[in-house]
Chain A
Amino acid sequence: MNMLKTILAQINKMPRAALITIGLFLALGIFAPWIAPQDPSAQNLLDAGGGPSAAHWLGTDNLGRDTLSRLIIAANTSLVSVGSVLIIAMTIGILMGTIAGYHRGWVDDLLMRIVDVGLSIPSLITALAVIGIVGPGYWTMVMALSLAWWPMSGRISRGVAVSIMSKPHIEALRVLGASPWRIYFGHLLPGTIGQVMVYATADAGTAALAVATLSFLGLGIQPPTPEWGQMLVDALPYLESDPRQVLLPGFALTAAVIGFNILGESIALNRIPKPLTRRMLALRRAEVASWGKENSNA
């Protein structure tokens, strides 16, 4: 109950507009199969390219499929693929980051050099190179994007891990003789996961963009599964006669990304992990030492 209250308090501090957009995206994504009014892949060539009507609220595409249902199901497609990309990328990133933050020294140097190289290459190019070698497909796309995404969470979790490792309770654990495993799995990993998760939600917008871009290029989600980027590229030849089919998926995607970007900006402004500096550590030690003195006086 208490946990729920702190979570609600946290959410209340975030920008309202972003929460509404993301909430709508999540709700549509999770409950899409029940919300969609019609079968998204039912074709009706007689009704192709039709405008809004009572049966099809947002019209139909060039094969006579209901656009509204396809837009809603596409939210589900997007949510599932973005979720799997972020989960895989964060698992790799958090593992690498915490190992680097725990070990320091050459392990840290090596891992962070790899992260630097990964971050300096645009994620689209990394993903396309992997797809070009392995061949297109749904799981190739997810793996390729995770490979392009893990350096970001890797760098953040390394920063978080370093700041946790320099906290007094880890020092206390060491003094108590806690094993490295206990420190790593009992204290470092849970602390890092919690904090990095927050940043990952901010990354979801760019991940959704990448999924849509790959689908737009025909190398991500394959038809007949509806996806915003792929709906847009399908409708592009009919831009002149039926621009609605291009504009609607574009605006849906843009709205979702704007929501995540506003959230990400507010998170980045509020809390950036900083490893404790040596001066702060010294101050903290002095403070801890003074507690001991007070106690002995009393």
Chain B
Amino acid sequence: MFHFISKRLKHSLVLLFLASLVCFTLVVSAPGNVAVLIAELRGAVATPGYVDQVAEEIGLHKPLLMRYVDWLGDAVQGDFGISYRTGQAVNADLSKRILVTGMLIAGGGVIATLISLILGFLGAFWPYRLPDRASRGLALIGASTPTFFVGALMIYAFSVSFRIFPSFGFEGPESWVLPWLTVAVLPAAVLSRVVRVGLEDAMSSPFVLTAKSKGLGRTAILLREALPNITPIFINALGTQVGLMTATAIIVEPLFAWQGLGDYFLAGVRFRDFMVVQACLLLFLSFFIVVNLVVDLAVMLTDPRIRRQWS
């Protein structure tokens, strides 16, 4: 078991290194001279002398490898440089915004899990009947509707037609509902299919036959025999969806005026603020790697078959 964990940790470290390399090369390969850009952003006329001074200041004259090592050393300590647009330290903004995005993804993940379990369970309880077809149709629509349109529909339904929830802002539980629901639609649609197919698969295995012959009811079999069997698959799929929710957050946060990481990343992309883009990208990539690591460990804890393989 420790062998598995250490092997998995090493794998994640290699991936983290690759992710940092990707983020670094992306910014280094940007067209145009960064020093000129910064000089102009500081409001000065970009005379060659001043540009040289700026280049010296941010270390553009050093060899690439040195710049990478410097950048990585700073980034590991949480220093992501200074935003070209605002002139403020990127990490000060990041620490404020990380909580907002964390809340969005956590709430969305919980709602998506609940909805998908209910829909998938209904489908597996009455396979190929009306509830199954309805949940299948809902999943298709949910997976095909663009997230920004889901958000617009939510605002139209819940804060224009019926004034139940506020349409934007981040003040208390009421304003959290709509963003959470919007973020949850896509993962709920995908996960409900995973649950439905997984349950059907488990229901055709021999241990279910044994349970039937013992006289257990359909609900009891589904909950006690089939559900534990699909947890590893479900956790795997949930991990992928949680990763994808960072991309959804980029759309949902500006829509509901949440000051989160997605909003920050988007602003960085709009104003070509390389430091912000780089920092957010590195955070997103690290998040995917960590989620994958957690998923693998959780799958090992919940699946005795895999646990036995490694012990």
Q: B254 to chain A: which residues have CB within 8 Å?
A: 217
A135 to B268, CA, bound (A): 11
- Interface size of A by Cβ–Cβ distance < 8 Å? 39
Q: Which of B111-119, B122-130, B280-288 contacts A (4 or more CB under 8 A)?
A: B280-288
Q: A128 to chain B: which residues have CB within 8 Å?
A: 250, 265-266, 269
Q: B26 contacts A254, CB within 8 Å? A: no
Q: B274 contacts A205, CB within 8 Å? A: no
A213 to B149, CA, bound (A): 10
Q: A129 to chain B: which residues have CB within 8 Å?
A: 26, 269, 277, 281
Q: B143 contacts A246, CB within 8 Å? A: no
For the complex, is B212 an interface residue (Cβ under 8 Å from A)? no
For the complex, is B251 an interface residue (Cβ under 8 Å from A)? yes
How many whole Å from B128's CB to the nearest CB in chain A? 15
A262 to B309, CA, bound (A): 39
Q: A253 contacts B146, CB within 8 Å? A: yes
Q: A236 to chain B: which residues have CB within 8 Å?
A: 152
Q: Across the two chains, which residue of chain B brings its CB closest to A250?
A: B149
Q: Which of B141, B152, B247 interacts with A232 by CB under 8 Å?
A: B152
Q: Which of B145, B148, B247, B281 interacts with A233 by CB under 8 Å?
A: B148
Could you tell me which residues of chain A, from 52 to 103, have a CB within 8 Å of some CB in chain B?
none
For the complex, is B310 an interface residue (Cβ under 8 Å from A)? no
For the complex, is B29 an interface residue (Cβ under 8 Å from A)? yes
For the complex, is A164 an interface residue (Cβ under 8 Å from B)? no
Q: B155 contacts A229, CB within 8 Å? A: no
A213 to B272, CA, bound (A): 19
Contact with B along A38-58 (1 / 0, CB 8 A): 000000000000000000000
Could you tell me which residues of chain B, from 278 to 301, have a CB within 8 Å of some CB in chain A?
281, 284-285, 288, 292
Q: A223 to chain B: which residues have CB within 8 Å?
A: none
Contact with B along A229-257 (1 / 0, CB 8 A): 10011001001100100110010011001
Q: Across the two chains, which residue of chain B brings its CB closest to A132?
A: B269
Q: A243 contacts B156, CB within 8 Å? A: yes
A125 to B288, CA, bound (A): 12
Q: B156 to chain A: which residues have CB within 8 Å?
A: 239, 243, 246-247
For the complex, is B5 an interface residue (Cβ under 8 Å from A)? no
A243 to B152, CA, bound (A): 10
How many whole Å from A296's CB to the nearest CB in chain B? 47
Q: Which of A22-30, A116-124, A273-281 contacts B (4 or more CB under 8 A)?
A: A116-124
Contact with A along B237-253 (1 / 0, CB 8 A): 00000011011001100
A239 to B143, CA, bound (A): 24
For the complex, is A209 an interface residue (Cβ under 8 Å from B)? yes
Give the size category of B's interface with A: 35 or more
Q: B152 contacts A132, CB within 8 Å? A: no
For the complex, is B140 an interface residue (Cβ under 8 Å from A)? yes
A217 to B147, CA, bound (A): 12
For the complex, is B27 an interface residue (Cβ under 8 Å from A)? yes
For the complex, is A133 an interface residue (Cβ under 8 Å from B)? yes
Q: A124 contacts B146, CB within 8 Å? A: no
Q: A253 contacts B160, CB within 8 Å? A: no
Could you tell me which residues of chain B, from 20 to 69, have a CB within 8 Å of some CB in chain A?
22, 26-27, 29-31
Q: Across the two chains, which residue of chain A brings its CB closest to B141?
A: A258
For the complex, is B144 an interface residue (Cβ under 8 Å from A)? yes
Number of A-B contacts (CB under 8 A): 106
Q: B272 contacts A133, CB within 8 Å? A: yes
Q: B277 contacts A124, CB within 8 Å? A: no
Q: A212 to chain B: which residues have CB within 8 Å?
A: 146, 148
Q: B269 contacts A229, CB within 8 Å? A: no
A134 to B29, CA, bound (A): 9
Q: A250 contacts B153, CB within 8 Å? A: yes
For the complex, is A131 an interface residue (Cβ under 8 Å from B)? yes
For the complex, is A218 an interface residue (Cβ under 8 Å from B)? yes
Q: B26 contacts A258, CB within 8 Å? A: no
How many whole Å from B249's CB to the nearest CB in chain A? 10
Q: B281 contacts A243, CB within 8 Å? A: no
Q: A125 contacts B148, CB within 8 Å? A: no
Count chain A CB atoms within 10 A of each CB in B29, B31, B147, B247 and give the residue with the most: B247
Q: B134 to chain A: which residues have CB within 8 Å?
A: none
For the complex, is A163 an interface residue (Cβ under 8 Å from B)? no
Could you tell me which residues of chain B, from 182 to 208, have a CB within 8 Å of some CB in chain A?
none
Q: A262 contacts B146, CB within 8 Å? A: no
For the complex, is B305 an interface residue (Cβ under 8 Å from A)? no
Contact with B along A256-282 (1 / 0, CB 8 A): 011001100000000000000000000
Q: Which of A219, A239, A253 interacts with B149 by CB under 8 Å?
A: A253
For the complex, is A216 an interface residue (Cβ under 8 Å from B)? yes
Q: B268 to chain A: which residues have CB within 8 Å?
A: 132
For the complex, is B214 an interface residue (Cβ under 8 Å from A)? no
If A236-B152, A246-B156 touch, whether A258 touches B146 (CB-CB below 8 Å) is no
Contact with B along A134-146 (1 / 0, CB 8 A): 1110000000000
For the complex, is B3 an interface residue (Cβ under 8 Å from A)? no
Q: A122 to chain B: which residues have CB within 8 Å?
A: 243-244, 246-247
Closest A-B pairs by Cβ, 5 of them: A132-B269, A122-B247, A250-B149, A132-B277, A124-B247
Can you name 18 A-B residue pairings with CB atoms under 8 Å?
A117-B22, A121-B288, A123-B247, A124-B251, A129-B277, A133-B30, A212-B146, A213-B147, A216-B146, A217-B254, A239-B156, A243-B156, A243-B160, A250-B145, A250-B146, A258-B140, A258-B144, A261-B143
- B contact set with A: CB distance below 8 Å: 18, 22, 26-27, 29-31, 140-141, 143-149, 152-153, 155-156, 160, 243-244, 246-247, 250-251, 254, 265-266, 268-270, 272-274, 277, 281, 284-285, 288, 292
